[in-house]
Structure 1
């Protein structure tokens, strides 16, 4: 199957899920935290599928994470002067 076909299938399943959640809301009431959470999750899934559709529509512009090169050179020791050791307190001071 093509990406378009797969996304269409996902959209159909998501539409079914939304219908079932609506039925549950009618039966259980929409005031409960759990049903609101499920509704919010359905909405987030719908937004995510829409983003996937947008990225699939422009295949040449797929976003890849930009790689960041980290140097092996040692850090300047001046960066670490007058700093607190996390959880240990500042140097030359005693605990209360």
Structure 2
């Protein structure tokens, strides 16, 4: 099975789930916490599958963030002139 076929199958199952949740809401009522959670979870699944379908339609799109190279060379000491040493206080003062 292709990814498109699998996504179509999942979408069909979500449609069935949505119809079943709708019937449950009619029988039980939609005001209870449990029913609202089931409806919200079903909606989240629908949104997640839509995002997955979009990502599968554009396989060349970057899935991982671009890596940033950090140089091994030491930082310029002049960057730290006006800062305090953490936990030690300022350089020209004594700890109590």
Shorter-chain TM-score: which interval? 0.5 to 0.7
Q: Equivalent residue for 2:61?
A: 62
Unpaired runs of at least 5, structure 2? none
Q: Equivalent residue for 1:25?
A: 25
1:34-92 CA distances to partner (integer Å, 9 max, x unpaired)? Answer: 11111111111111111111122223x3332123334556677839x44776xxxx958
From the CA coordinates, give the structure whose radius of gyration is larger. Answer: 2
Q: Equivalent residue for 2:44?
A: 44
Whole-angstrom distance in 2 between the partners of 1:55 and 1:11: 15
* Cα distance change, pair 22–73 in 1 and its aligned pair in 2 (3 A): farther
Q: Equivalent residue for 1:15?
A: 15
Whole-angstrom distance in 2 between the partners of 1:76 and 1:45: 50
* Cα distance change, pair 83–31 in 1 and its aligned pair in 2 (3 A): farther
Q: Equivalent residue for 2:53?
A: 53
The alignment's C-alpha RMSD in Å is 2.9
- Poorly superposed stretches of 4+, deviation over 4 Å: 70-77, 90-94
Write the mapping of 1:63-82 to structure 2, written as runs, cut at 5 A: 63-65=62-64, 66-71=66-71, 78=80, 81-82=83-84
Q: Equivalent residue for 2:35?
A: 35
